[in-house]
Structure 1
Amino acid sequence: MTLPAEAVRWAQELSAPPGAGNLPGSASGVFVGRMDELTRLRTLLTDKGEAAVTQGTRTRAIHGLGGIGKTTLALHYAHTYRHDYTLVWWIAAETTEQIVTGLAALAMRLCPQWATTTGVQERAAWAILWLQWHPGWLLVFDNVERPADLRHYLGALPDGHHLATSRKAAGWHTIAPTMPLDLLDADASEDLLCTLALGKEHTPTPRQRLQAQALAAELGYLPLALEQAGAYLYETGTDLGHYPALLGRVLDTATEGVDPQRTIARIWQHTLTAIATRDPLAVTVLNVLAWLAPDDIPRTLLTPLAPDPVTLGEALGVLHAYNMISFTADRQNVSVHRLVQTVLRHGPTTEADTYPPGRQEAEHLARQAIPDQDSATTQWERLLPHLFALATTTTPHWPASTQTADIYEKAAEYLYRRGRDAHTIPLRTVTLAQYEQILGDTHPHTLTSRNNLAHAYQAAGNLGRAISLYEATVAEYEQILGDTHPDTLASRNSLAGAYRSAGDLKRAIALYETALAQYEQVLGDTHPDTLISRNDLAVAYRSVGDLGRAIPLFEATLAQREQVLGDTHPHTLASRNDLAVAYRSGGDLGRAIPLFEATLAQREQVLGDTHPHTLASRNDLALAYRSAGDLEGAIPLFEATLAQREQVLGDTHPHTLISRNNLALAYRSAGDLGRAISLFEATLAQREQVLGDTHPDTLISRNNLAGSYMSVGDLGRGIALYEATLAQYEQVLGDTHPHTLISRNNLALAYRSAGDLGRAISLFEATLAQREQVLGDTHPDTLISRNNLASARRAVQAIQPSATKAVPQAPSTAD
């Protein structure tokens, strides 16, 4: 992301005020039984206690059971050592969006004169730049759900300390060393209970100590359970010995461990009874909070629950007194512990209850909070986590509501228009379920919803789910609306696109050709939907290597889009980019590079710097530079694009994996084989996990990794991987697909490198014949095959080197 020069200068020149930070609370509360962990954490972060916080990155992750005190330990560490850091910044990190928002808030704190005039992504980029210029800070990433979300930030920010908390123990081995946090020991639990229940000023009697010991064991030594019990006992004046009787018997002590959720549920039920006695509205508010995202719940969202702000404030105050909620520093947002939410969501209900307590009210608040305008970005971004929470906790047992479905649909459309369609799956899933229940399985709204969900799965790289949904939707459209209805044609075109993405080009092209003929007949030759279909067919021709048909079709479509839609319409830009890709595929870099450069400039201006289509253009331009041998231009562009895709799309999104693969290719071209192989291996592992073992992109990664093994002289691994990949290409894409031919050519090169000239020449001859037939006599790949065959035939004693043709990846922009 390119920032204005003035903003870059401020990032370099502005310093943080002494003691700067945003810690969510003070360290003045009770902190019992964690001094050893605090000391260990300091040792781990500073490398055996050395106070050299500016000598490179130190990263540690605290993981453990929910409610075990991870956040409390991190907060106490931050307060204890805050004066050893230039800045201490706390970031809610359950999602990538929250991390970006947290970084953006740093820009607002340090450079408000600029940050108030720009968007969240730009503010976050500025914050990263500032942290790079000013070492010695501490970043705390609280409640990380996906450890891989931190990879980019740890790599980009080497000159400070990173501290993460997470409920997850798995997934950290390649990210950061971990520090598991266990239950409190018996003595510490007893001390904590006595202090909270009796007050710091009171010395417990021997009898009270014994009662505290028994109750601590009953509560399973879980810090959150101990804190909640202590707050209830202190508030109500209940005797320590009476509390176990209120709870009832604990789980069977003969079983291994303790079920903390059930223990907490018993505690909280009595706490809720006490809260209801003081303020019944507080219980209503807490039940509503149970269905929203746990963090950053705006007080303004809750306003309709009370007749006035004072009454709402009193109810929140009661909840805060019982440690059921916490406030942000400005007290404008509320957070509730996830275990509190879990217990409340699964609380007892009667047969007469249509919805669980608080659920219907939460949906009503969400409907009222939907922004009137799509441009209300700040309002949307604050509301989205709560809409996702509502969507993911919906069950089919509750009555469906078109009003609720509509809010999920509006949120999904907001994300779609910003190129974040892969993130809409939870929203679109519940929307479809609601429409199916209310309108029926074949209602036009239901069919549109099903098609949209398929598109979201396709954007996320889950082609199996996408194709299944598309096929069902096409069949229903044909039955309900007819074979040539525009919605039927659009669905058919989308299905063809999914086939193409999955590498099933034969079915894709046949379906595209059928759809285009029908579009031309029904809508006319220059209708925007006809142009989409024509462009998509050209992409399919290009994918199969038929540039003779692809390039004229791209050129015709571009000319028609310029005339019908205008020069900078997103669809016109897509055509321009796709035509440039076709020129590059045909080896015409003289025409391809200027077209890529022009399209990228227009996309940056029209769509913004981090829109997925802009990122695709940037990636394609870097590929063109690499093809032209301009590695100095290609590598920085690949690196920047990868960083932006990781931030915008996520670490394992298919397009992020494409960027990672392409960067590895560029490193290999530059002779940096160590970095190339490491990146190829990581990308292959991620593609196997995300896309599957035989997805075309997975095969590309496997082919490229094999080539890298060959480059470092590891012929055994290289040839074995080439052979396995070629067999998979032949099975998945067919015997004459361009990628199959590349794989066959590379295997022949490997045989030649190993001195097996007989097999090499035989394979070169077969590949050349197939390329002449499929790609034409003068296609660049055909010329490579002819050159390789000639070189192998000339070889007598020594093996003559020849450049291996790697498989470039360039995702064409979908209309």
Structure 2
Amino acid sequence: MDRLVETSFGGLNEGFQFGINNGSVNAEIYLAPQRPETPPGPCSTVPFNRDPEFVNRGTLLSQIREKSSQSARIALVGLGGVGKSQLLVEYSYQVREIDPGTWVFWIHASNPSRFEADYLSLAETLKIPGRHNPKSNIFQLVCNWLQDERKGKWILVIDNLDDYFLDQPVQVPSHTDGSRGDERTRLDSFLSFLPRSQSGSIIITTRSKEVALKLGYERDIILVEPMEQSHALALVEKKLLVPAEPGDICQLIDKLDYMPLAIAQAVAYLNKRGARCSVTQYLEEFERNDRKRVRLLKTEPNNPLRDHEAANLIMDTWQISFNHVQRIRSSAADILSLASFCDRQEIPDILLRIDPESENDTDSVAGDEFEDDLQILTDFLFISPNADGRTFQMHSLVQLATRSWLEKHGDLERWKEHFIKILAVEFPTEIYEDWERCQVLFPHTKSALRHRPVTEGTLSTWATLLDNAANYAAEKERYRDSLEILQAVITAREAILGSNHDHTLMSKGYMGLIYGIFGLKNEFQTISKEVYCAFAKLHGPGHAETLADMVILGRILVENNRFFEAEALLRSSLEIDNKLSMGVGSLRTSIILAILSWALLQQGKYQEAEKLQIMSLEIDKKVLPEVHPYNLKAKFSLASMYQCQSRWAEAEEMNLEALEDTKKVMGQAKSLRLLIMKNLGEIYKFQKRWSEAESLFQQALKICLEVFGLNDSVTTYNITSLAQVYWQSGHLQEAEIFQKKWLEIFQEDHGRNHPEAAVVMMKELAVVYTLQARGSEAKALAFHTMEAYDRMKNGQFLDLETLTDLIWVCHKQNLSKEAEALQMEYLEESER
């Protein structure tokens, strides 16, 4: 009978040997028990060294410290590249400095594999039992460890908790034994494994406010904005290795929206180029166009504090999020595309609606979807709502990144054209009808100016839009803006219609008028002559194709002192207008009447000029708001007519009424206000009301210096007018001191060779010397004045009053030859 043999061996014996055995053998081998692992002490897993160039950004670290109380869950929310991770690296080191017994753990959440790998590494660092079991849920194991109050205080940083958590469903085991759990989004699954402990705090960085709100409450969110100017300057000072002017650095950080990553990239570029590229040169290159800006922001900074898997270029880091928005909600990406072409501030929602007809449809499904789209873009901080609830703002670099992203996907032109068409529909064609709407939309037409479309049809729409914007800018007395816009309109219309098309000529003519108003006499004369000749060649002298062309041409003729031709053309225009409007006066009627009235006034036809100007004013009162720039111009013109007829009381009353009205036009009539003050001042001078004249010209001079600066003919006029008040009232010493002071200021600012102003100011001082019987000084200054006048004669001319005074000085100083030459010029100028 077989016998059962049982044998046991201890852990120190090895091997098992039999001779002959006919029975069963059961061997039990007991291994020596494993030695328990020694748990680690409190440590930090922050994967970065402390940044020696860290810039303390005001209260942000204090906010993190205050909110990171026991059992806190806080989120740093901000655009990619705004410096969220850098803040937490510094904070982590500060925590360990204050309390070395606090654990600090760092998890990268930029992608699924990295996220899980960091959790595995953390479990390994903490020597968590069961971590090697393939059936274990590593997230649950770490969660259990963190919830054990015996482990002490800890901070868990989860960096870059963004895109991949938001939308993709994933099967995640919900039990420690690895059994199958529910299908949920990654974010929901992740949140279920976040510990609740009195000993620890969780801090995440994210670009999405939606993620932050799922983690905790609104009060637990710290919004990380771009740097303040002082902090951005400090960052550049620490990183820039080449010398630069403070003013240039201020411009640089402003162009880069005070974004730390963008600043680091720009500084890296400058350091790399060294002496071959200054900050000034960088700014010049940056301003050229979008492609140049994007190329300049391609230089990777040497940043050991940025994760090696994270995008190191600010354009790339944002475009990752753009792709995410496109994937989860393409309609929100469409709105982002439109917003990228707007001015960065005060973006009205009417420009962001793909279908403008849905503007007031707030109760519809489309309206709700629009609001949902805006919410997504707001959550990602791509746009920020303003306090009015109807407009938004957007960082200019985000706009640049969006346009670069569109170009990369071949969609740039499509969205550019869509933006232009929406803006063209929304911008009023008759600016006086909706002044406030023009004011809201004008900055966005300035932005459209930088985005010229390619296709001919949209280019025509673009030109029409900008033409309307140029008219508005001129009415607002923003003449530089108007000229810049008109130049683009003319270039576009020449490309589409040709140089001699009526629309092209109209735009050129209007540009000429703006040059005239702006005091650029040479440019005005050159352009207006060119336009007049072109119209004459097309339609015959004094004629034009359309009524609008006739009005523009009429203004050009008046500004060129061709009053008789202007009168004939404008009378024809008035007849056509009466037929078109069926005798009912419109704003166009008022404009024609006003120009015709001025042409008649210059010919001495005072009664008819006054009658037409009153008719123009009556129409304005009917079709325009109570206080409008056109009303002011009509009152000013009527007051000028009274002055020409020496009807001083009526002229003063009308001027005072107009002057009071200018205060109600929200700063839209500064030039007109100065003209009215000039008229009033001349009335006071004529009536020898010296104190009132002095007070008025002092006020006018202050406005001139604020609005136009020293280098402007209007400023020069007011300086000399005030000097004239002094010497005409017998205060010669005051006149001398005043005129010398301003002449010295002007010479310091512009040099002795600045032509027209130098002539006018020196002439005025020569008059004072002559009145003081200081012959030698007056004679010497008269010579200097004549020399300066000779230098400026290339196409420029003095006004008749200045010529008259200069002739008088020359006569008084026995400069007969000079006086005679000036007399001839006076006669020529009078005839012209």
TM-score (norm 1): 0.51
Q: Which residue of 1 aligns with 2:494?
A: 436
Q: For 1:279, give the aligned amino acid.
A: V
Q: Aligned ranges for residues 536-547 of structure 1 at < 5 Å? A: 536=599, 539=602
Matched, 1:295 2:345: yes
Q: Which residue of 2 aligns with 1:744?
A: 807
Q: Which residue of 2 aligns with 1:619?
A: 678
Judging changes above 3 Å, is the alpha-carbon distance between structure 1 residues 719 and 254 closer, same or farther for their aligned structure 2 residues?
Answer: same
Judging changes above 3 Å, is the alpha-carbon distance between structure 1 residues 772 and 440 closer, same or farther for their aligned structure 2 residues?
Answer: closer
Q: For 1:637, give the aligned amino acid.
A: L
Q: Which residue of 2 aligns with 1:271?
A: 317
One of 606, 615, 620 as aligned partner of 1:554:
606
CA contact (8 A) 1:566 1:572 kept: no
Listed one character per residue, the Cα deviations across residues 692-718 of structure 1 (whole Å, up to 9, x for unaligned) are 9555x6643453355578899876973
CA distance in structure 2 between the partners assigned to 1:469 and 1:735 by the alignment: 20
CA contact (8 A) 2:486 2:511 kept: yes
CA distance in structure 2 between the partners assigned to 1:774 and 1:766 by the alignment: 13
Judging changes above 3 Å, is the alpha-carbon distance between structure 1 residues 559 and 581 closer, same or farther for their aligned structure 2 residues?
Answer: same
CA distance in structure 2 between the partners assigned to 1:254 and 1:727 by the alignment: 49
Q: Secondary structure in 2 aligned to 1:184?
A: helix
CA distance in structure 1 between the partners assigned to 2:694 and 2:338 by the alignment: 50
Listed one character per residue, the Cα deviations across residues 447-490 of structure 1 (whole Å, up to 9, x for unaligned) are 32322222223222233333333222222212222224256765
Matched, 1:467 2:521: no
Which stretches in structure 1 are left out of the alignment for 5+ residues? Answer: 1-30, 37-66, 70-164, 168-177, 190-218, 231-243, 500-507, 540-549, 584-590, 752-758, 777-815
Judging changes above 3 Å, is the alpha-carbon distance between structure 1 residues 742 and 349 closer, same or farther for their aligned structure 2 residues?
Answer: same
Judging changes above 3 Å, is the alpha-carbon distance between structure 1 residues 558 and 294 closer, same or farther for their aligned structure 2 residues?
Answer: same
One of 433, 436, 441 as aligned partner of 1:378:
436
Q: Which residue of 1 aligns with 2:306?
A: none
Q: For 1:578, give the aligned amino acid.
A: S
Judging changes above 3 Å, is the alpha-carbon distance between structure 1 residues 620 and 35 closer, same or farther for their aligned structure 2 residues?
Answer: same
Shift of 1:625: 1.2
CA contact (8 A) 2:709 2:715 kept: yes
Give identity over the alignment, percent.
15
One of 569, 590, 593 as aligned partner of 2:648:
593
Shift of 1:666: 4.2
Q: Which residue of 2 aligns with 1:631?
A: 690
Listed one character per residue, the Cα deviations across residues 559-603 of structure 1 (whole Å, up to 9, x for unaligned) are 5655797699868645543345546xxxxxxx3532421321453
Q: Which residue of 1 aligns with 2:178?
A: none
Judging changes above 3 Å, is the alpha-carbon distance between structure 1 residues 469 and 182 closer, same or farther for their aligned structure 2 residues?
Answer: farther
Q: Secondary structure in 1 aligned to 2:452?
A: coil
If asked which structure has higher relative contact order (CA below 8 Å, sep 6+), I would say: 1
Q: Which residue of 1 aligns with 2:422?
A: 365
CA contact (8 A) 1:455 1:466 kept: yes
Shift of 1:440: 3.6
CA distance in structure 1 between the partners assigned to 2:487 and 2:826 by the alignment: 47
Q: Which residue of 2 aligns with 1:184?
A: 236
Shift of 1:383: 1.2
CA contact (8 A) 1:726 1:743 kept: no
Judging changes above 3 Å, is the alpha-carbon distance between structure 1 residues 370 and 598 closer, same or farther for their aligned structure 2 residues?
Answer: same
Listed one character per residue, the Cα deviations across residues 523-578 of structure 1 (whole Å, up to 9, x for unaligned) are 78999858845743754xxxxxxxxxx6x433553256557976998686455433
Matched, 1:703 2:763: yes
Q: Aligned ranges for residues 492-531 of structure 1 at < 5 Å? A: 493-499=554-560, 508=561, 511-516=562-567
CA distance in structure 1 between the partners assigned to 2:296 and 2:807 by the alignment: 62
Judging changes above 3 Å, is the alpha-carbon distance between structure 1 residues 688 and 619 closer, same or farther for their aligned structure 2 residues?
Answer: farther
Q: For 1:746, give the aligned amino acid.
A: V
CA distance in structure 2 between the partners assigned to 1:530 and 1:643 by the alignment: 34
Judging changes above 3 Å, is the alpha-carbon distance between structure 1 residues 422 and 635 closer, same or farther for their aligned structure 2 residues?
Answer: farther
Q: Secondary structure in 1 aligned to 2:511?
A: helix
CA distance in structure 1 between the partners assigned to 2:610 and 2:749 by the alignment: 36
Judging changes above 3 Å, is the alpha-carbon distance between structure 1 residues 277 and 572 closer, same or farther for their aligned structure 2 residues?
Answer: closer
CA distance in structure 2 between the partners assigned to 1:324 and 1:705 by the alignment: 60
Q: Which residue of 2 aligns with 1:226?
A: 260
Judging changes above 3 Å, is the alpha-carbon distance between structure 1 residues 369 and 716 closer, same or farther for their aligned structure 2 residues?
Answer: same
Shift of 1:363: 1.6
Q: Secondary structure in 1 aligned to 2:528?
A: helix
Shift of 1:720: 4.8
Shift of 1:632: 1.6
Shift of 1:742: 1.8
One of 417, 442, 448 as aligned partner of 2:506:
448
Q: Aligned ranges for residues 183-332 of structure 1 at < 5 Å? A: 183-186=235-238, 224-227=258-261, 253-256=272-275, 261=293, 262=295, 264=297, 267-280=313-326, 281=330, 283-304=333-354, 308=366, 324-329=382-387, 332=390
Q: Secondary structure in 2 aligned to 1:476?
A: helix
Judging changes above 3 Å, is the alpha-carbon distance between structure 1 residues 334 and 771 closer, same or farther for their aligned structure 2 residues?
Answer: closer
CA distance in structure 2 between the partners assigned to 1:446 and 1:290 by the alignment: 30
Q: For 1:464, give the aligned amino acid.
A: N
Judging changes above 3 Å, is the alpha-carbon distance between structure 1 residues 321 and 229 closer, same or farther for their aligned structure 2 residues?
Answer: farther
CA contact (8 A) 1:461 1:654 kept: yes
Shift of 1:621: 0.8
Q: Secondary structure in 2 aligned to 1:279?
A: helix
CA contact (8 A) 1:719 1:747 kept: yes
CA contact (8 A) 1:661 1:701 kept: yes
Shift of 1:386: 1.0
Listed one character per residue, the Cα deviations across residues 490-527 of structure 1 (whole Å, up to 9, x for unaligned) are 5554444444xxxxxxxx4xx43444466679978999
Matched, 1:722 2:741: no
CA contact (8 A) 1:526 1:560 kept: no
CA contact (8 A) 1:303 1:309 kept: no
Listed one character per residue, the Cα deviations across residues 772-797 of structure 1 (whole Å, up to 9, x for unaligned) are 99999xxxxxxxxxxxxxxxxxxxxx
Q: For 1:253, give the aligned amino acid.
A: K
Q: For 1:722, give the aligned amino acid.
A: T
CA contact (8 A) 1:725 1:743 kept: no
Judging changes above 3 Å, is the alpha-carbon distance between structure 1 residues 383 and 575 closer, same or farther for their aligned structure 2 residues?
Answer: closer
Judging changes above 3 Å, is the alpha-carbon distance between structure 1 residues 315 and 179 closer, same or farther for their aligned structure 2 residues?
Answer: closer
762-771 or 557-566: which moved more? 762-771
CA contact (8 A) 1:722 1:747 kept: no
Judging changes above 3 Å, is the alpha-carbon distance between structure 1 residues 276 and 350 closer, same or farther for their aligned structure 2 residues?
Answer: closer
Shift of 1:418: 5.7
Shift of 1:622: 1.2
* Structural RMSD (CA): 5.6
CA contact (8 A) 1:580 1:596 kept: yes
Judging changes above 3 Å, is the alpha-carbon distance between structure 1 residues 325 and 579 closer, same or farther for their aligned structure 2 residues?
Answer: same
CA distance in structure 1 between the partners assigned to 2:598 and 2:800 by the alignment: 21
CA contact (8 A) 1:299 1:333 kept: yes
Shift of 1:359: 1.8
Q: Secondary structure in 1 aligned to 2:342?
A: coil
Q: Which residue of 2 aligns with 1:577?
A: 639
Q: Aligned ranges for residues 633-672 of structure 1 at < 5 Å? A: 633-642=692-701, 654-655=713-714, 658-659=717-718, 661-663=720-722, 665-666=724-725, 671=734
Q: Aligned ranges for residues 392-403 of structure 1 at < 5 Å? A: 392-394=450-452, 400-403=458-461
Judging changes above 3 Å, is the alpha-carbon distance between structure 1 residues 556 and 694 closer, same or farther for their aligned structure 2 residues?
Answer: farther
Which stretches in structure 2 are left out of the alignment for 5+ residues? Answer: 1-52, 59-80, 84-226, 242-252, 287-292, 300-312, 359-364, 579-588, 622-630
Q: Which residue of 2 aligns with 1:113?
A: none
Judging changes above 3 Å, is the alpha-carbon distance between structure 1 residues 292 and 535 closer, same or farther for their aligned structure 2 residues?
Answer: same
Judging changes above 3 Å, is the alpha-carbon distance between structure 1 residues 477 and 304 closer, same or farther for their aligned structure 2 residues?
Answer: same
Q: Aligned ranges for residues 11-90 of structure 1 at < 5 Å? A: 33=55
